[in-house]
Amino acid sequence: MVKINASAITYTKGGEISKILSGTGFSIDTETLGPKQVVIQALATPINPSDLNQLAGTYASKPNFTSELDTPVPVAIGGNEGLYKVIEVGSDVTSYKNGDWVIPKMPSFGTWRTHALVTLDKPENPDPFIKVSSEDDKSIDLTQAATVSINPSTAYQLIDQFIKDWDPKGNDWIIQNGGNSQVGKFVVQIAKIRNIKTISVIRDGKPDQDQIVKELLDLGATKVITDKEAESEEYINKIVPGWVNEGKVILALNCVCGKSGSALVSHLTGNHLADYRSPHLVTYGGMSGQPLMYSSSESLFKNVTSKAYWLTANTKRNPQSKVDTVKKVLALYKSGDIKPVPFNGKEFNIKSTSDDYIKLFLKGIAESKTGKQVIVYN
């Protein structure tokens, strides 16, 4: 192999997504590969909501602009998550070999591309990848590895980061909105193996509601309720306290805000008996477009702590935390304790043109509203 024809989804400035994105063709010359360089080829690249916010320019983590694609002006490459296979390694590279499956460790890698030439041992990011598997190790499959970097890692850290002293007897509860989201589905699975009970709040009035409830219960949710129920006095004062009984709703996970977020606070259990752990509301998204709001008196009388969670910030602050979390999630996959949450795969032939590439991405982005989209390469 000498010259690889590659494609990337690029943009020069943030804005309306359908207008700013281009398919850019570029080439990678493996003849001139440096001793500490590797070439990787995409296996799967997800489209996440935060990628779209980044394109729109409303995301606090900004993309990197690069000239390495030989474009007339520097461009940013879309995407923050991707699974790749190592296909070429330089003469001094010992940590990777051809056939290794890797994911970028840091955000803003620009993952929406068929190939990348990456230099290892850069002082600012000496080890840019997390190795998740290899071609001779079949213990992790593509559906597990493709999305391991964001959704299950978020769920894992949400459960780990705020409440340190989970009740070992299983009397602690998590309540979460966005129960039908990817993160929500990982939360119920991970909580279950940790002996933590869960209440997942889903949107009311979906045509396939019964099916969603069944899926969540099968994944390990203790209870599934609708947002209408969650906001009702009856559920706040009677039904949920009846389920929780002597236990404590100690963690509320909020990716919606608005009314839905304030209802979660109403479900948190205040201090009682000899249990003085502060109940936490943790916000990691705002799908409703509304701000977070909650009652002052509930906040102070129940000693509620409202914290924000952002995986990207954690990773930037402490890159090793990302490596550790991904390794823990992979171990849960290998032991069979959790299973991947299905996504909509969109197949792309790696030899196709950059025009086909951008068309497929625009289609995937448009369909993101109906469920998680992942471009899968063959």
89 versus 264: smaller Cβ distance to other proteins: 264
Q: Per CB under 8 A, which region of 90-98, 100-108, 217-225, 287-295 contacts other proteins? A: 287-295
The DSSP line for 53-99 is: HHHHT--SSPPPEE-TT--SS-EEE--S--EEEEEEE-TT--S--TT
**From the CB of 237, what's the least distance to other proteins, in Å?**
14
224 versus 250: smaller Cβ distance to other proteins: 250
Tell me which amino acid residue 104 is.
Answer: P
The span from the CA of 352 to the CA of 37, in Å, is 25
Residue 28: phi, psi to the nearest 5? -120, 125
**From the CB of 255, what's the least distance to other proteins, in Å?**
9
Tell me which amino acid residue 98 is.
Answer: N
Which residues are 176's β-sheet partners? 200, 253
Single out the residue of 62, 122, 228, 307 in contact with other proteins (rule: CB under 8 A): 307
- Our answer to whether residue 294 is catalytic in this structure is no
CB crowding 134-172: b at 16 or more within 10 Å, else e: beeeeebebbbbbbbbbbbbbbbbbbeebbeebbeeebb
Single out the residue of 5, 278, 321, 368 in contact with other proteins (rule: CB under 8 A): 278
- Our finding on whether 273 is near other proteins (CB under 8 A) is no
Residue 146: phi, psi to the nearest 5? -60, -35
Interface of this chain with other proteins, residues 308 to 337, rule: CB under 8 A: 308-310, 313
Q: Per CB under 8 A, which region of 23-31, 78-86, 281-289, 330-338 contacts other proteins? A: 281-289
263 versus 330: smaller Cβ distance to other proteins: 263
CB crowding 84-102: b at 16 or more within 10 Å, else e: bbbbbbbeebeebeeebbb
Q: Per CB under 8 A, which region of 66-74, 88-96, 133-141, 302-310 contacts other proteins? A: 302-310
317 versus 351: smaller Cβ distance to other proteins: 317
Interface of this chain with other proteins, residues 237 to 266, rule: CB under 8 A: 257, 262
Residue in the block written with tokens 């129940």: 302
Tell me which amino acid residue 14 is.
Answer: G
Single out the residue of 91, 94, 245, 297 in contact with other proteins (rule: CB under 8 A): 297
- Our finding on whether 366 is near other proteins (CB under 8 A) is no
2 versus 300: smaller Cβ distance to other proteins: 300
Residues identified as active-site: 59
Q: Applying CB under 8 A, which residues contact other proteins?
A: 58, 60, 257, 262, 270-271, 276, 278, 283-286, 290-310, 313
